[in-house]
Amino acid sequence: MSVVAVVGAQWGDEGKGRIIDLLAAKARLVVRYQGGSNAGHTVINPFGTFRLHLVPAGIFNPDVVCIVGNGVVVDPTVLLAEIDELAAHGVGVANLFLSDRAHVVMPYHAILDRLEEEARGDQRIGTTGRGIGPAYVDKVLRVGIRMVDLLDPATLRAKLKTVVALKNQLLTRIYGAPPVDGDAIFEEYRAYGARLARHVADTGAMLQRGVARGENVILEGGQGTLLDLDHGTYPYVTASSPTAGGSCAGAGIGPTRLDRALGVFKAYVTRVGAGPFPTELTGTAGEALRERGSEYGATTGRPRRCGWFDAVLARYSAQLNGFDAVAITKLDVLDEEPAIRICTGYRLDGRVVDTVPASLAEFSRCEPIYEEMPGWRRPTGHVRAIADLPVEAQRYVARLGELIGCPVELVSVGCSREQIIVLGEVFG
C-alpha cells in the first residue's frame, strides 16, 4: 500500500493520463495536484476517447475517489463541460471531489492572459490563453476566489467587489480594454457554485484519512518537470510546480507520507510553445515524428516540437524529483526509425557539460552530443512482454533506464489501455 506521485518528467504531454488510467485499477484515491485546464490528459479506454483537463484520470474506475486538489486552479466552465462529457459516455462523477481551497479561474483571468501575452511581444511565453497564469498570480496576490467562496454568496460578492475594481483598472487604464461586469460574474459564478456544491469538500482531510487507512494513492501531475516554475526553463514555464515536491503541497499531504515518485518519460522529447530545445528535430525528421506520434496539443491543437531523447534533461528531472521508477511511453512511435539518437551531454562554448544551465542564453547555445543506437524497424504495438520486443528496442529501453538512473517499470507501446509492458509493481 503506498502513495505514488506520477510526474511528467519532460516538458509535459508524456502520456501521464494513460499511465494513471492504467494504475487506477489498483488505487483507491487519485489526486490531481497542480495546474489547471491548460493541461490535457488524453485517455483512450473502453469508455471512449477523452481529453481530461481537470478531472483526474482515475475517474473511469468507479471504486476510485478522484480529487482535484488545493494546488489546482479550477475553471468551472471547463470542469462542468468535462463532467457532462463524461456523463454522456456513461462515466459517473459521484466520486469526484474538489478542494474547497482550490482557486477559481475567473473570466478576467483569460482576458488578462491574452493581453499580457500580446504585451510581451517577441518575449511571448506561448501560454494557452486560458487564464491559468493570472489565476495563480491572484492566489499569490491574495485576491483569489476559492471554491469555498462560490458556495457563500455574501463572501463571493464582497471579494468580487474588490478584485473586479482592481482588474477593471488594469483592463481599461493599462490595456485600453473594456471593463468586465462584476454583477454578471457574480450571478454566473454563484450558479456554478450551486451546481458544484456537492463535489466541494475538505479534500486534504479526505486524503489524510485514506493514507491513514493504508490505501493506494496516486498523486497526479499536470504538465512536466521542465515546466516547473522554479526548476523549469524559466520563463517558458507554467505557473505551478508539477514536480514530486509540488505534489505534497498541491494535494495536502506531508512529504513523509509520499512513498514513491514515478517519472513518465516519452521515448523521445516534445515541447509546446517557445524556449530552447537542444535535441529538436526540424524539417522532415521532426515532421515524421510529429505525425507518427500525433504530436498536437490536447488542449490547444498546437503542433508540438519534437526531438531525440535528452538524457541530460532526463537525469536533471530524475534527481530533482527523486524518481524511484520510470514509465517510458510512445516507444512504438520510434518503430520506423532506422537509427535512434540519445543526447548524453552538451557542448557549450567549447566545453562539455552534463548539467542544465540556468541561463536561457547558455541553454540556447548548448549543442547536443549524441550516441546512436540501431532502430528496430518493426511494429511493437502488439508486444506485452519485454522479452518479445525486438532486441534493439529492449536495448534502447535498457539504455534509457541506465541514463535516467532508475528502473523502468512500465513501457507503453500504444495509446489504448492494454498496450503496456509491465516490468515492476508501481505500488510496491
Looking at the Cβ atoms of 52 and 156, the one nearer to ligand GDP is 52
- The answer to whether residue 41 forms part of the interface with ligand GDP (CB under 6 A) is yes
CB 251 within 8 A of CB 34: no
State which of positions 280-299 bind ligand GDP (CB under 6 A).
Answer: 294, 298
Does 89 participate in catalysis according to the annotation? no
- The answer to whether residue 333 forms part of the interface with ligand GDP (CB under 6 A) is yes
| DSSP secondary structure, 398-418, as one string | HHHHHHHTS-EEEEE-SSBTT
Q: What angle do CA 342, 348, 354 make, to 5 degrees?
A: 50
- The answer to whether residue 329 forms part of the interface with ligand GDP (CB under 6 A) is yes
How near is the Cβ of 9 to ligand GDP at its closest, in Å? 10
How near is the Cβ of 234 to ligand GDP at its closest, in Å? 21
Looking at the Cβ atoms of 147 and 237, the one nearer to ligand GDP is 237
Which cell numbers in the block locate residue 210? 485514506
How near is the Cβ of 261 to ligand GDP at its closest, in Å? 15
Q: Which of 41, 103, 199, 231 is catalytic?
A: 41
User: Which of residues 16, 103, 109, 167 is near ligand GDP by CB under 6 A?
Assistant: 16
State which of positions 375-414 bind ligand GDP (CB under 6 A).
Answer: 412-414
- The answer to whether residue 44 forms part of the interface with ligand GDP (CB under 6 A) is yes
- The answer to whether residue 40 forms part of the interface with ligand GDP (CB under 6 A) is yes
Give the up-direction half-sphere exposure of residue 339: CA atoms within 13 A in the CB hemisphere.
5
Report d(CA 195, CA 55) in Å as an integer.
16
Which cell numbers in the block locate residue 331? 516507444
How near is the Cβ of 321 to ligand GDP at its closest, in Å? 15
Judged by CB under 6 A, the stretch of 41-49, 121-129, 188-196, 281-289 that binds ligand GDP is 41-49
How near is the Cβ of 249 to ligand GDP at its closest, in Å? 21
Q: Measuring CA to CA, which residue among 79, 329, 409, 71 is closest to residue 220?
A: 71
Looking at the Cβ atoms of 112 and 326, the one nearer to ligand GDP is 326
User: Which of residues 332, 346, 389, 400 is near ligand GDP by CB under 6 A?
Assistant: 332
**Nearby residues of 343 by Cβ (< 8 Å), 6 or more positions away:** 278, 279, 308, 309, 310, 311, 312, 368, 369, 370
State which of positions 108-147 bind ligand GDP (CB under 6 A).
Answer: none
- The answer to whether residue 330 forms part of the interface with ligand GDP (CB under 6 A) is yes
CB 343 within 8 A of CB 370: yes
**Percentages helix, strand, coil for the chain, rounded to the nearest 5?**
40, 20, 40
How near is the Cβ of 382 to ligand GDP at its closest, in Å? 12
CA dihedral of 31, 191, 79, 26, whole degrees rounded to 10? 40
How many C-beta atoms surround the C-beta of residue 256 within 10 A? 7
Does 324 participate in catalysis according to the annotation? no
Q: Which of 13, 75, 138, 324 is catalytic?
A: 13
Query: What does the per-residue mask of binding to ligand GDP show for 149-188, with x meaning CB under 6 A?
Result: ----------------------------------------
Judged by CB under 6 A, the stretch of 34-42, 109-117, 246-254, 359-367 that binds ligand GDP is 34-42
**Residues binding ligand GDP: what is the number (CB under 6 A)?**
22
Judging by DSSP bridges, how do beta strands 41-45 and 65-68 pair with one another? unpaired
Distances (CA, A) of 156 to 137, 143, 148, 152, 235: 19, 11, 9, 6, 33
Which secondary-structure segment (H or E) carries 48? strand 48-52
Give the distance, in angstroms, between the CA of residue 12 and the centroid of all CA atoms in the same chain. Answer: 5
List the catalytic residues. Answer: 13, 41
Residues that bind ligand GDP (CB under 6 A): 8, 13-18, 39-42, 44, 294, 298, 329-330, 332-333, 412-415
